[in-house]
Amino acid sequence: MAKKERPPVPDAWVDRIDEILRGLPQVHCEPAWVGTRWRVQGATVAHVFGGEDQLFRVTFRGETDEVMAFQHLGAPYFRAEWGANVIGLVIDDDSDWAELAELLTDSYCLVAPDRLAAQVDRPA
């Protein structure tokens, strides 16, 4: 059986995520092994990619208790199979981009050096 191709993430979605993250100190965007990722000083803040199932996902970091909570919420959230603190979210046209902005900002604050994270207004 032939492996399905991974679809490219719509540019509009990459741009929306970039708009959320580019204002944070020292974040840069780069191509990943698949999709696009945003990093700060070598640590991945977020990664967006298309899957072989033709769905689009964004992964990001969360507190350990948040990872478990999101895992139990179920779709569109999931626990990534790598990293103890990685949360995944299936995104589509109906995604809550305001909520995603908060989650990505939290992710940044978890992986950025303290001096950089201290410069960010973190969501309540």
Q: Is 108 exposed, middle or buried (0-12, 13-18, 19+ CB in 10 A)?
A: buried
Asked if residues 77 and 89 have their Cβ atoms less than 8 Å apart, the reply is yes
The CATH number given to whatever domain includes residue 51 is 3.90.1150.30
> How much helix, strand and coil, in percent to the nearest 5, is found in the chain?
30, 25, 40
Task: Please state the pTM of the whole predicted model.
Answer: 0.91
pLDDT in tens, 2-39: 678 899 999 999 999 999 999 999 999 999 989 999 99
Examine residue 42 and state whether it is found in any structural domain, yes or no.
yes
Domain count, the chain: 1
Examine residue 5 and state whether it is found in any structural domain, yes or no.
no
CA-based torsion, 29, 12, 96, 74: positive or negative: negative
CA distance 40 to 116: 9
Q: Is the pLDDT of residue 124 over 70?
A: no
| Residue 90 lies in domain | 11-117
